[in-house]
Amino acid sequence: MNCWKVKKLQAQNFRNLDKMIFDFSPGINCIFGQNGNGKTNLLEAIYLITNKKSFRKNTSYSQMINIEGGNSEIILQSVFENNQELISYSLRMTDQIEERYLNNQFEKSKTPSASVFINPFDSYNFHTSSTFRRQWIDSHLSLINKEYKQVLGRFQKAMRFRNSVLGLGGKSASIQLQAIDEQVSEYSAFITQARLDFIKDLNQFITPTFKAIFSEDHQLELELDSIFSLWDAKKIYDFYRHQEITDLKAQMTKIGIHRDDTIFSFDGLNAFEFCSLGQQKMAFLSLIFAYIELFRYKFTSYPIVLIDDVSGELDGQRWKNLIQYLETKQFQVMITTANENFRKELERISNSRKFLIENGLLINPG
Ligand SMILES: Nc1ncnc2c1ncn2[C@@H]1O[C@H](COP(=O)(O)OP(=O)(O)O)[C@@H](O)[C@H]1O
Ligand SMILES: [Mg+2]
């Protein structure tokens, strides 16, 4: 399998992380340490290298640069390995620039691998917030479909412009809206179809993944809730023409794919309304690992899987199930926990590498 895994990582001036080199296993890497010591920071560094942005919302260079000492740049240096082939990859950031180098050559856009991040809050957010669900679909679909990412960007720009025209109103508004709506409807039709296809693809993997992890038979399914499902661009354009007066009055676009939602069902019932919190967490984890299988199906390679402190969300048996599942997989995993009991389960994995982080320092180097 064509699968680039991070072999070495050294961070300089990144949050509280010390300069030491992390020497990772291509399989499971367990990261231990009490709260506030740097476990999530380490995952963030890997995510930043592979996905070109942080998973922390609204974080920027000024939050990421080490606050102690007058440092003026962050450097993340890494080595990736794939079938014994090695490449070096580094990232240099200042408050002005962000540069990436592959084998010491300037690299504009490519990264060696992608990574998927799983954290303790996402399950709750996914089940309770339609905005979060929409963002989840958009970011995960963008990672496997570059055209989607581009069209989504253009749609968002067109929508901002549409709303500013609606906000200003005036005589020329109607003519301007006709021109924008041609674009908006083209993008909307494309995006809706891509979301439908993505959800259909994901659905093939969710139920079997739940069974593979938790050894229980349940039917899990996502469904897109969109007014424009299966509409073509012409029909969407006509719809917006009809909406014009309402939208002008409201000074905003009231209906559209920016309001799309997804419904997650568990044995035919709405997972949020009918499942226990534990089941919701299991369902969400199955969704993420289904996505990872879909990623593999599309690219014949796995992303790097970063699992941050999810142990607190699961009972002991389910945690054991999850670890056993990870042991059967070929992807590289970085898994953190601050929980002593869950740590014991991870210590048991014979061919995993263990790291202990205290105050940003690597106490037990692998
Ligand atoms: N820019 C920064 N410079 C130095 N320390 C930072 C910076 N940003 C966050 N930290 C420190 O990192 C620690 C949190 O690290 P984190 O990885 O979230 O901990 P955990 O091990 O619980 O996952 C906190 O002590 C915080 O003060
Ligand atoms: Mg953390």
Of 210, 202, 204, nearest to 279 by C-alpha is 210
pLDDT of residue 365: 67
Handedness of CA 155, 160, 161, 165 (dihedral sign): positive
At residue 22, what are phi and psi to the nearest 5 degrees?
-90, 130
Count of Cβ atoms closer than 10 Å to residue 109 Cβ: 7
Q: Which residues are within 8 A (CB) of 248 and not within 5 positions of it... i.e. 6 or more apart?
A: 166, 169, 173
Q: Which residues surround ligand 2, an ion (CB under 5 A)?
A: 39-40
Closest C-alpha residue for ligand 1 atom 24: 36
Residues 6+ apart with CB under 8 A from 364: 354, 355, 356
Amino acid at residue number 57: K
What was the pLDDT predicted at 58?
Answer: 86
- Which residue shows structure tokens 């799983």? 118
Domains annotated on the chain, with CATH: 5-113+304-365 (3.40.50.300), 125-270 (1.20.1050.90)
Give per-10-residue mean pLDDT for the chain (366 aa): 92 95 96 95 97 90 90 95 96 95 94 93 91 96 96 98 94 93 98 98 98 96 96 98 95 96 96 90 96 96 95 84 94 94 90 94 81
197-250: per-residue pLDDT in tens?
999 999 999 999 999 999 999 999 999 999 999 999 999 999 999 999 999 999
CA of 361 relative to ligand 1 center, distance in Å? 12
Pocket of ligand 1, candidates 22, 37, 44, 59: which has the most ligand atoms within 8 Å of its Cβ, to mutate? 37
Report the atom number in ligand 1 closest to the C-alpha of 357.
21
Number of neighbouring beta carbons within 10 Å of residue 277: 11
Provide the whole-model pTM. 0.94
pLDDT of residue 206: 98
Q: What is the pLDDT of residue 170?
A: 86
